[in-house]
Amino acid sequence: MKLTDRIKNMNFSFLSSVIAIIIGLLFGLVILLISNPAQAMGGFSTILTGAFRDMRSIGRVMYFATPIILTGLSVGFAFKTGLFNIGASGQFILGAFGAVIVGIKLPQLGSVHWVVALLAAAILGGLWALLPGILKAYANVHEVISSIMMNYIGMYLVNYLVLNTVYDRLRNQSMGVAKSAVIPKMGLDKIFPRSNVNAGFFIAILAVIVIYIILNRTSFGFELKAVGYNRDASKYAGINEKRSIILSMVIAGALAGLGGGLLYLAGTGKYIEVVDILAAEGFTGISVALLGLSNPIGILFAGLFIGYITVGGDYMQLYDFAPEIIDIIVASIIYFSAFSLIVKNVIDRRRMKLGGGKVQ
């Protein structure tokens, strides 16, 4: 494919995401008009501008975006390598538990405590994605089936482990981590006072850069993507396709696990609750990956956008609207994003026919 065609495809992809966002927001406006016409415009304006209310709100955008950028990277990385990692929720909560138990049990680690806790989160998340990777590589078990089952196993396993290791019986949740395990603010608390943002946001940006380089600037990333495009052809070319599939899932799981660690080590009174509910951040990551077109840079901005309208939605109660209207808007955006991808595929196939089987 020529460079000009690649640029056109990138522009079309970006434009399709923008159009999906606009349509989703307009759909949300219609819902507001139907439910409460008198306050609809005020509520809609709050969604669009609420996150710019003050520096604290901007800090909250960064805080909310941090874990979903990581789960978005997890899903997007798997997409790029031909896999659908719907198990990010289970990997996220396993990573969260790894971070929390290290954060509680090993205060003697001192200044590197929070770093070790985050490493534990990434390792447990990666290990939780290992089995679906092995099943896909050696038995061709579809990763959607195996990873979604691992979500529920992970949820109940973490409930069991919390109950037997770090349980706070008065609150039905995990105990608080040691102060040394809390991710440092690195001056962000002075820029964004009274917000929960911390150095975890920088870690999320670093993860975006690393994944971008792996996918686009390394032979390892090329092999992973090649296996995703055509497993049999990759094997014929000498690529160890089984290893690539397993590593793709493990890296995706590690990213989701790291997201769990970043959320629960933020020092914001966040605890693992012993409830039978899957971690929502894992499924939000699917939305972020779709909106960001599985591109690491796109995922970064998609995560910030979801965090932005989430903070705006928190002020919806001022206009007698439930904050859940944001969930409807996000769902609408994702549906239209998926539709735009269908349109793009139809256009690409049409161009291939006109070009004699090759995209000119």
Residue 195: predicted pLDDT: 87
Is 344 found in the same domain as 263? Answer: no
pTM of the model: 0.90
Residue 258: predicted pLDDT: 98
Is 196 found in the same domain as 99? Answer: yes
DSSP-derived letter for residue 323 is T
Is 247 found in the same domain as 333? Answer: no
Domain count, the chain: 2
- CATH number for the domain spanning 234: value is 1.10.3470
Task: Give which of 185, 237, 163, 144 is closest to 62, Cα–Cα.
Answer: 185
Is 339 found in the same domain as 297? Answer: no
Burial of 278 (C-beta count, 10 Å sphere; 0-12/13-18/19+): middle
Please, are residues 184 and 50 in contact by the beta-carbon 8 Å criterion? no
Is 82 found in the same domain as 10? Answer: no
Is 247 found in the same domain as 119? Answer: yes
**pLDDT, tens only, 88-118:** 999 999 999 999 999 999 999 999 999 999 9
Burial of 241 (C-beta count, 10 Å sphere; 0-12/13-18/19+): buried
**pLDDT, tens only, 307-319:** 998 888 888 877 8
- 67: domain range? 55-314
Is 93 found in the same domain as 39? Answer: no
Task: Tell me how far the alpha carbon of residue 248 is from its chain's centroid.
Answer: 16
Identify the weakest region by mean pLDDT among 84-93, 199-208, 324-333, 341-350: 341-350
Is 244 found in the same domain as 357? Answer: no
3 state DSSP class of 53: coil
Please, are residues 34 and 44 in contact by the beta-carbon 8 Å criterion? no
Task: Give which of 46, 82, 24, 93 is closest to 285, Cα–Cα.
Answer: 93
Is 308 found in the same domain as 341? Answer: no
- Quote the CA–CA distance of 66 and 260 in Å, as a whole number: 10
Is 247 found in the same domain as 107? Answer: yes
Is 169 found in the same domain as 227? Answer: yes
Please, are residues 82 and 244 in contact by the beta-carbon 8 Å criterion? no
Residue 3: predicted pLDDT: 47
Is 100 found in the same domain as 124? Answer: yes
